[in-house]
């Protein structure tokens, strides 16, 4: 939580930009335009929110892209559990394996089955996350294990 990026965001964005901008805007609204303190404060916050909506959107753009990329498929309607998803993964794998083995050098012949398998795995991850399982922790553990074994460039 207390990363370099966090400090830059808290001090740069919140304290310096919002704090100084808010104070200046409050002085302008109250002192120059004669708006009473509380309405000036509310207007101040509204105006800053309108501006910083875009600033924050820009700051977090790369984080939002990561969230969008987490799941490639839309959520399927219904209630699902790990047993159902395991059965679906097994079914999709069997179909993919059959089509792949029929013509491994022809990806258009088995690509659809591969993506169906990927979709079922995607759904299992959603089910695990919905149950509160820390999938990211395990993911990073696997990455570190593979790095130690020299599997990555």
153: in domain: no
Q: Are 124 and 70 in contact (CB under 8 A)?
A: no
Q: Are 26 and 38 in contact (CB under 8 A)?
A: no
Summarised one tens digit per residue, pLDDT across range 45-98 is: 888 888 878 777 777 766 655 555 566 777 778 888 999 999 999 999 999 999
Domain boundary among 68, 87, 121: 68
Summarised one tens digit per residue, pLDDT across range 103-124 is: 999 999 999 999 999 999 999 9
Mean pLDDT computed over 26-32: 88
What's the structural domain count of the chain? 2
* Res. 151 pLDDT band, cuts 50 70 90: very high
Are both 90 and 42 inside the same structural domain? no
SS (H, E, C) 39-92: HHHHHHHHHHHHHHHHHHHHHCHHHHHHHHHHCCCCCCCCCCCHHHHHHHHHHH
Task: Tell me which residue range forms the domain holding 13.
Answer: 4-68
116: in domain: yes
Give the integer Cα–Cα distance in Å for 74 and 60: 22
Are both 99 and 126 inside the same structural domain? yes
Are both 36 and 23 inside the same structural domain? yes
Are both 78 and 142 inside the same structural domain? yes
Are both 77 and 62 inside the same structural domain? no
Q: Are 85 and 127 in contact (CB under 8 A)?
A: yes
Are both 37 and 82 inside the same structural domain? no
Question: How many helices and strands, by DSSP H and E, does the chain display?
Answer: 7, 0
Are both 23 and 90 inside the same structural domain? no
pTM of the model: 0.54
């Amino acid at each position: 939580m207390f990363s370099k990026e966090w400090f830059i965001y808290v001090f740069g964005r919140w304290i310096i930009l919002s704090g100084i901008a808010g104070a200046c805007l409050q002085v302008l609204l109250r002192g120059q335009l004669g708006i009473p303190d509380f309405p000036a404060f509310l207007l101040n916050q509204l105006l800053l929110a309108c501006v910083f909506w875009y600033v924050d959107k820009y700051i977090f753009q790369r984080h939002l892209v990561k969230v969008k990329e987490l799941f490639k498929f839309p959520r399927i309607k219904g209630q699902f559990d790990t047993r159902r998803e395991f059965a679906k993964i097994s079914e999709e794998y069997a179909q993919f394996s059959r089509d792949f083995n029929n013509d491994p050098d022809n990806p258009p012949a088995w690509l659809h089955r591969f993506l169906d398998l990927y979709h079922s795995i995607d759904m299992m991850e959603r089910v695990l996350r919905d149950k509160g399982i820390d999938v990211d922790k395990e993911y990073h553990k696997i990455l570190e294990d593979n790095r130690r074994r020299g599997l990555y460039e």
